[in-house]
């Protein structure tokens, strides 16, 4: 199981360094001509990559359910993501390199998400049912820790440190571009234990063509008989709301901190890192609670706290209270994500497990574009950042109310055993 969780540690280097902190800022500030259009281009690339995964993820999952092993295809997606990340070294701080940057990030993002679908679906087969919450939480914790350690190490080695062992040209942004290669190597090296040690599902004996045909038929059958999975559908719809709320929070948190509290770029970076540390601590602490009280109740408790602390963040006007309530909010970001994975691991039928995690990916991507649009629209209409950010709280409330209608995973397991 440690080898399984190490993949979280490895892969989050891409999420943290490329998608969230370093490359996103490098692209908008140094590669593109103007920050405004660059932000829109970045949003389109991440959004369309998510849309492709949302539409094709369930199909991929259905095929792999029929085929059996996850690791061969997962290795291909991981390697493609690693290669595209390393190739970002060639994205120089020039407008001519905008399309190369967007193409590499798009391919890397799609492959990263495909690998994540396969990775998440392996958890139920690797650990006992009553320890799923623990390991899902530990995996998320290792992900936060690995991503942040990669970020801090890279910044220390190439940006803030005296890179004596390398002759890097800061005028050509080589000190920043070296971070992308470092992140790719981090992902590659730390994912090796997963591929070398973690056991995989057995082959079903079906050829790829037959697996594709049977997988498609299985997905169509699932959609046709969706009433048989009504509780899982309600869970996935609830997850759409609270995941979109979290995604919008991540997208606008720095903007809100800078606008409402006049925080500098460095202060926003420190706040973002601290928020990720708090989320990792929360995921670790709640990993035992998940196994004790169940994934559903863990999600509900986390959502209630996100609503409470998120509302207070929007009400306070002094930076010290923003920091305090922001950190308390961050503590419950990790548990809601980890418990969502463990809930589906417990509740999904074994024969449709990867397909269900494909639908799980869809629920996290299909409507992700709506939150930022609504925040922007409400902010403009009300001429207030605080009012605009309240859209996030509305998302959390909707997710909480829908989650109340979802049965506990133990009830779902009893239904599966009876079928």
Residues 342 and 297: beta-carbon distance below 8 Å: no
Q: Using CA atoms, how far apart are residues 76 and 48, in angstroms rounded to an integer? A: 21
pLDDT tens digits for 170-217?
A: 778 888 888 999 999 999 999 999 999 888 777 777 777 788 887 788
Residue 404: count other Cβ atoms within 10 Å of its Cβ. Answer: 12
Q: What is the pLDDT of residue 112?
A: 93
Q: Are 144 and 8 in contact (CB under 8 A)?
A: no
pLDDT (0 to 100) of residue 97: 87
> CA 19 to CA 16: how far, in whole Å?
6
Segment 121-152, tens digit of pLDDT: 888 777 776 777 777 887 888 888 898 899 88
CA distance 331 to 165: 39
In angstroms, rounded to a whole number, what is the distance separating the alpha carbons of residues 402 and 235?
8
Determine which of 195-209, 248-262, 326-340 has the lowest per-residue pLDDT on average.
Answer: 248-262
- Number of neighbours of residue 147 by Cβ within 10 angstroms: 28
Residue for token digits 């926003």?
268
Q: What angle do CA 179, 244, 239 make, to 5 degrees?
A: 115
Best-predicted range by mean pLDDT (104-113, 231-240, 334-343, 362-371): 104-113
Residue ranges covered by each domain of the chain = 1-223, 225-419
Place of tokens 């998400």: 113
Distance from C-alpha of 328 to C-alpha of 296, rounded to nearest angstrom: 21
- The pLDDT of residue 246: 86
CATH node for 1-223 = 1.20.1250.20
Q: pLDDT of 79-118, one tens digit each? A: 999 999 999 999 988 888 889 999 999 999 999 989 988 8
Q: Which residue has the higher pLDDT, 391 or 1?
A: 391
In degrees rounded to 5, what are phi and psi of residue 407?
-70, 160
Dist CA 117 CA 160 (whole Å): 36
Nearest to 329 by CA among 233, 396, 381, 258: 396
Confidence of residue 254 (pLDDT cuts 50, 70, 90): low
Distance of CA 45 to the CA centre of its chain: 16
> Could you tell me the pLDDT band of residue 413, with boundaries at 50, 70 and 90?
low
Mean pLDDT of the residues in the chain:
82
CATH of 225-419, one of 3.30.56.10, 1.10.15.40, 1.20.1250.20, 3.20.20.140: 1.20.1250.20
Domains 1-223 and 225-419 agree in fold? yes
């Amino acid at each position: 199981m440690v080898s399984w969780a190490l993949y979280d540690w490895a892969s989050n280097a891409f999420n943290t360094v490329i998608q969230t902190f370093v490359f996103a800022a490098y692209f908008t500030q140094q590669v593109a001509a103007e920050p405004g259009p660059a932000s829109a281009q970045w949003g389109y690339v991440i959004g369309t990559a998510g849309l492709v995964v949302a539409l094709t993820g369930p199909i991929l999952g259905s095929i792999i359910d029929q085929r059996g092993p996850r690791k061969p295809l997962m290795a291909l997606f991981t390697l493609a993501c690693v290669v595209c990340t390393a190739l970002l070294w060639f994205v120089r701080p020039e407008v001519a390199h905008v399309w190369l940057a967007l193409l590499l990030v798009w391919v890397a993002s799609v492959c990263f998400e495909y690998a994540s679908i396969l990775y998440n679906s392996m958890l139920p087969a690797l650990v006992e049912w009553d320890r799923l919450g623990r390991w899902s939480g530990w995996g998320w914790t290792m992900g936060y820790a690995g991503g942040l350690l990669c970020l801090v190490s890279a910044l220390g080695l190439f940006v803030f440190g005296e890179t004596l062992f390398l002759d890097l040209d800061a005028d050509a942004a080589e000190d920043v571009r070296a971070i992308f290669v470092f992140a790719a190597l981090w992902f590659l090296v730390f994912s090796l234990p997963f591929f070398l040690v973690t056991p995989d599902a057995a082959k079903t004996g079906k050829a790829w063509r037959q697996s594709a045909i049977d997988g498609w038929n299985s997905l169509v059958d699932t959609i046709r008989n969706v009433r048989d999975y009504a509780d899982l559908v309600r869970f996935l719809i609830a997850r759409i709301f609270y995941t979109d709320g979290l995604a919008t929070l991540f997208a606008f948190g720095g903007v809100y901190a800078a606008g409402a509290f006049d925080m500098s770029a460095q202060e926003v970076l420190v706040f973002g890192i601290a928020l990720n540390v708090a989320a990792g601590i929360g995921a670790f602490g709640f990993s035992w609670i998940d196994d004790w009280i169940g994934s559903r109740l863990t999600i509900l408790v986390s959502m209630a706290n996100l609503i409470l602390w998120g509302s207070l963040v929007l009400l306070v006007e002094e930076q010290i209270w923003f920091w305090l309530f922001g950190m308390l909010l961050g503590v419950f970001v990790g548990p809601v994500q980890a418990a969502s994975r463990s809930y589906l691991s417990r509740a999904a039928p074994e024969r449709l497990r990867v397909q269900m995690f494909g639908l799980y990916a869809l629920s996290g991507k299909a409507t992700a574009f709506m939150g930022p649009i609504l925040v922007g629209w409400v902010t403009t209409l009300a001429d207030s950042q605080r009012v605009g950010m309240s859209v996030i709280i509305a998302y959390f409330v909707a997710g909480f109310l829908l989650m109340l209608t979802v049965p506990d995973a133990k009830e779902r397991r009893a239904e599966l055993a009876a079928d």
